[in-house]
Amino acid sequence: MVGRQQRAMKVVNIHEREFQSTPDRVGALIDSLASPQDALWPKLSWPRMEFDRALNSGARGGHGPIRYFVEAYVPKHSVNFRFTGPRGFDGFHAYQCIKVRTYTTILRHTLEMTTHGRAVLSWPLIFQPLHDALIEDSFTTAEASLGLPQRVQPWSYWVRVLRWAVSGGKASSQRIA
């Protein structure tokens, strides 16, 4: 069709939390992702992060319907995942450990992408609320793993409705490590 334009939307979504812990301890949480000893991913309430091999550049996998591969990995510092699905997600998400002081570290999660097609609607209506809740739960899981007080961000009503709908009424309630 002549003159038909595909709609696109630029997305930049950043979450971060400060931890009273060393960068080595917080960075070790990133290193544990998708392992049997995963101390960062909120696997009690969300689909597990899984890969075809240990966390390293080139590993392929994802969580639930979100698919990606490890684009870059720096042990105890950062991991970048490049999206391969769902269709219309063109970009990456990443965890990064940032030293503030000897015993103060920021854990940041960044998602940058351009959405196309149906994802222009599915991202803000479905995926973004679920993503935001999952990442906040991962920070709370990190606090629990580090033995720190947990700052739980309760799920919104919309997140609870979405989880119920996508699970056919079988979604678990919010549980942290």
- Confidence at residue 166, expressed as pLDDT on a 0 to 100 scale: 85
Tokens representing 87 are 């269709």
pLDDT(54) > 80 = yes
- Confidence at residue 1, expressed as pLDDT on a 0 to 100 scale: 44
Do residues 63 and 48 make contact, with C-beta atoms less than 8 angstroms apart? Answer: yes
**Residue 123 within any structural domain of the chain:** yes
User: If you search the block for the tokens 């720190």, which residue do you land on?
Assistant: 148
Residue 171 vs residues 2, 7, 156, 174: alpha-carbon distances, Å:
45, 32, 14, 9
Mean pLDDT, range 85-114, rounded to an integer: 97
Q: What is the residue range of 64's domain?
A: 9-166
pLDDT(60) > 70 = yes
- Confidence at residue 170, expressed as pLDDT on a 0 to 100 scale: 82
In the structure, what pLDDT confidence band is assigned to residue 114 with cuts at 50, 70 and 90? very high
**Residue 130 within any structural domain of the chain:** yes
3-state secondary structure of 125: helix
Mean pLDDT of the chain: 95
Q: 4-18, 44-58, 122-136: lowest mean pLDDT where?
A: 4-18
Closest CA to 63 of 127, 159, 129, 148: 127
**Residue 117 within any structural domain of the chain:** yes
Closest CA to 55 of 38, 134, 1: 38
User: If you search the block for the tokens 């075809």, which residue do you land on?
Assistant: 52
In the structure, what pLDDT confidence band is assigned to residue 171 with cuts at 50, 70 and 90? confident
Mean pLDDT, range 128-152, rounded to an integer: 98
In the structure, what pLDDT confidence band is assigned to residue 138 with cuts at 50, 70 and 90? very high
pTM for this predicted structure: 0.94
pLDDT(177) > 80 = no
- CA 106 from chain centre, in angstroms, equals 15
3-state secondary structure of 9: strand
- Confidence at residue 44, expressed as pLDDT on a 0 to 100 scale: 92
**Residue 3 within any structural domain of the chain:** no
Alpha-carbon gap, residue 151 to 17, rounded angstroms: 10
Alpha-carbon gap, residue 70 to 59, rounded angstroms: 5
β-bridge partners, 99: 105
**Residue 173 within any structural domain of the chain:** no
- Number of structural domains in the chain: 1
In the structure, what pLDDT confidence band is assigned to residue 4 with cuts at 50, 70 and 90? low
- Confidence at residue 122, expressed as pLDDT on a 0 to 100 scale: 97
**Residue 176 within any structural domain of the chain:** no
User: If you search the block for the tokens 């919010």, which residue do you land on?
Assistant: 174
**Residue 91 within any structural domain of the chain:** yes
CATH of the domain at 118: 3.30.530.20
**Residue 174 within any structural domain of the chain:** no
What's 56-113 look like in SS3? Answer: CCCCEEEECCEEEEEEEEECCCEEEEEEEECCCEEEEEEEEEEEEECCEEEEEEEEEE
